[in-house]
Structure formats: structure tokens, C-alpha cells
Structure 1
């Protein structure tokens, strides 16, 4: 190349890539890429360290993408983590929490997703014997092993179809502390509502309600039979003798009468 430069009359500062253009054989793609990188460095667009890094990366064997690089798309945007298979996921933590009685209306509602129905059961368990509980989306996400955006979708569906009512829980200074979740009548069993219980009784008029059926005499209506369990035989010696023993010496007289003692007359 120096010989060619002297023969053509060009100075030593001539770009080598322009000299290679005159050769009939095309340069290697890696050489052309490196030449372009160093041309940018000479123009002041990149530093020497950056040019060396890019030049060393050309033609190198690509390494396996790391976990962080695998989560980035083509445009550099982060991707969500790859979900583990269902059979490989960890089992839930031990808990003594249990749900009270609830209606099966939500379980039979095709408008809700299966996870939204399971989240409603968790809310019912958190309410205990009442219908109101306080929770945050972060806490709910940890319980259900879901993100806060997924918990938000569950709550939106439950509110839309009338299963829960939400209210923002605020502190004394007005800061948002979480959500107050109130279960509606669609979640509670029918017998907790007076209207539902009355409707059930009206639909079944033939239901017999006889709490004293075991003590009624079938032949004699309205007469209660005597039982050895609720009747005790009380034998009173005072009632047999026809008088009541009272006074200061009453206990001594009852004792002497019980042992059959006789009164000895005085001389």
C-alpha cells in the first residue's frame, strides 16, 4: 500500500479505504466495517475507546444473552419475565385463613375469569364475619402471585359486575393508604339478608316448622307429654305430715326423726 501511494502521488494522509476501492478484489466485510468505525473516530464522532470496543466486537462469536438482555426487545424496551410452567411453580404458603359462607353466584358467572373468582374468595376470607376489609394492590399481588396491574383488572371486573364496592382509604392528612373493599349482597349467602330469607320461606309454604313435635301426643293435640327428663319426683316429709317444721331446733328434730329416735319423757 505505501508503494501504491507513492506511485499515484498521494500523500501519507490519504484514506486507506479509498485506496482499496481501486483494487479489483473486494475487501472483507469485517475489514470494511472496521475501516468505517475508525473513519468515524478520525472525524471526531466517537472516542478511541469506543472505536476499539466496536472494532473488537466485529467478527466475534456472539455470547449467550444474559437474563437482562433476554428481557429487552428489538427496540430496547424491557420485556416481562417469562412465566414458569404451572407444574413447576412453588406451592402456596401455609395459612389458617378460611372463607366464610358465600354464594356461588360469582363461581357460576362466565363474565369473570377464574383468577378473579379466586381473588373474590380471598377477599371474603379477609372480611371474616363482616363484609368490609382494607387491602392494597401490592398486598393482593403478593397473595395471588400476580402484578398490581393484574389485581387492578380483577377489581375492575368485580366492581363492574356488582360483586364488590371500592373506596380509597385515606389518612388524616389525605394520603392514600390503600383500598376499602365492601362485599355486596351477591357474595353473601341468602339467609343473611332478611329479604332473601323471606323470599325462600314464601317459595316453600309446605315446609313444616314443628319444634315441639317430639313432645306432642298425636292422639291428643295440644297436650304435652310428661317425661322423666323434665319431671322430678320431690318427696317432702313436711308435706306428708301436714305441717312445716320451722324454728331454732328444726334441723335437730328432722335428724332425730330420720334415725327413728324416740322422745324419752322426763320423770
Structure 2
């Protein structure tokens, strides 16, 4: 009458089945005791915080939403400044705004020269971007002829970074002889006369006297005294001094 039949036994709860599988793995040595306790407690518990990542259309996870621009931290203080540079890159519509800003940072790192050494990781920390983004900036700058890249290697051939050289498109026009000559050719003569006050028109190549080391108001009527520089000059000066001492003063 009370015989056991398989149909009368209810199926186990899904929570019990999941926890049993966890402890079965722990008994087999696949996971630790602490990990088994954490997984067992997480089964059936309500989520405490929202999930930051969202699932895309193809099931791929997406990064969290970026912080708004006005809430981002301010840059660190720095004494670095950029040398004179042309505005060609700033007016180039083929470059992104961040690529133009990165070119200005590279110009500042070059100082008075045309070359600097940097890594993509360091550039990423400076610009607050990833190394892949820095790579895209460099590709655009090289493609449009603003920088030239070379791999920096040690004696064993290991890559240590990048050697970045800025081209003539970034440098100001007066650093290039051709650009300076072109500017002088198009500049009117009235605006550019740097040696007007130095040379006389009647005496070519004669430098005028400067007011700093020469008195312009010279009296030509006063006789010029000839300095006595002969051998008898010193004894005569001594005799004049002795004669002056012997003269009584009233």
C-alpha cells in the first residue's frame, strides 16, 4: 500500500542542484573552500549593484559609459611649453582635434630641436588615452607628413620606444632657408631695412659711431693734448709731484 514509486518523488530545486554541483567540484579539488562558499552564497541572492557592462547586439560586452567632459580631472601642472610652430596642422581638416593637440605636445618635447624619444605608453599617460588611440594619432600624423617615426633599439636589438622627428610642415617658416628667402622677397623694402642706421649711403661699408661708447658732441676747436709716453715721461712726473709738495700752501 505504501510502496515507494519513482513518480511520487519530486524533482530537486534548481538552487539545490547548483549548490550541489559547486560542492562536488570543491570535493574533487577543482576549487577552494572559500571559492565554493562564495559561489554557494551568491546563488539565489539578489544583485547588490547594477552591472556596469551591457551586452551588445552580438553578445559582446561593451566598456562602461565614459565620464562627462566637465567632470573629468584637470591636467597636472607642468612647465613644459611649445616652441614656435606653424599653424598648418591646426588648419588641417584631415586630422582630429586630439591628433593636433598631440602634435603640439610632441613639438614641446622636441624643445629647440626636431627630435624626441617617447613610448606609446608614456604618450597615453600624457594625453589620457589608450595606446591604440595614440597609435591612430601617429598613423595620421605620419600619413599626412607631419612627423617621421623610427624604432629605438638597444645594442641587443630590443625595442625601447619610438624616435619622433617633426618635419618642415610643423616648424616655423623662418627656420627654413627657402621659406625665409621667400618671405624676404615678398616683404616691401620700406618694412625691412635692418641696416639702415648702421651704414652710410655715401660711404659703403663704414660703420657709424654708436652713442653708447662715443661722445657725439665733440669740441673740434679744443687743442688735442699729446700724451708723453717716452722714457722721460715717468721721471718728469715724479719731479712735478716733488715740486708740488715743496710749494707752501697758505
The TM-score with structure 1 as length reference comes to 0.68
Contact persistence 2:89–2:100 (CA under 8 A): yes
C-alpha separation between the residues in 1 aligned to 2:211 and 2:42?
105
Does the alignment pair 1:246 with 2:234? no
C-alpha separation between the residues in 1 aligned to 2:123 and 2:16?
55
Q: 1:41 to 1:124 in 2, by over 3 A?
A: closer
C-alpha separation between the residues in 2 aligned to 1:161 and 1:130?
21
C-alpha separation between the residues in 1 aligned to 2:104 and 2:18?
63
- Alpha carbon RMSD of aligned pairs, Å? 3.9
C-alpha separation between the residues in 2 aligned to 1:107 and 1:15?
81
**Superposition deviation, residue 83 in structure 1:** 1.8
**Superposition deviation, residue 143 in structure 1:** 0.4
- 1:16 matched to which residue of 2? 9
- 2:126 matched to which residue of 1? 143
Contact persistence 2:86–2:170 (CA under 8 A): yes
**Which of 180, 204, 210 lines up with 2:187 in the alignment?**
204
Contact persistence 2:19–2:43 (CA under 8 A): no
- 2:105 matched to which residue of 1? 122
**Superposition deviation, residue 86 in structure 1:** 1.4
Q: Gapped runs of 5+ residues in structure 2?
A: 26-36, 245-250
Q: Gapped runs of 5+ residues in structure 1?
A: 18-31, 262-267
SS at match of 1:213: coil
**Which of 152, 170, 185 lines up with 2:135 in the alignment?**
152
**Superposition deviation, residue 35 in structure 1:** 3.9
**Which of 41, 53, 60 lines up with 1:71 in the alignment?**
53
Deviations 1:92-133 (A, max 9, x none): 111111100000000111111111100000000000111111
- 1:104 matched to which residue of 2? 87
Contact persistence 2:89–2:170 (CA under 8 A): yes
Deviations 1:225-258 (A, max 9, x none): 767545456975336xxxx4511x4224246558
- 2:33 matched to which residue of 1? none
Does the alignment pair 1:222 with 2:202? yes
Does the alignment pair 1:61 with 2:46? yes
Deviations 1:59-96 (A, max 9, x none): x534323xxx5236478855424322211111111111
C-alpha separation between the residues in 2 aligned to 1:56 and 1:174?
51
C-alpha separation between the residues in 2 aligned to 1:254 and 1:55?
114
**Superposition deviation, residue 191 in structure 1:** 0.8
Structure with bigger gyration radius: 1
Contact persistence 2:22–2:40 (CA under 8 A): no
Q: 1:73 to 1:107 in 2, by over 3 A?
A: same
Q: 1:207 to 1:174 in 2, by over 3 A?
A: farther
Contact persistence 1:37–1:54 (CA under 8 A): no
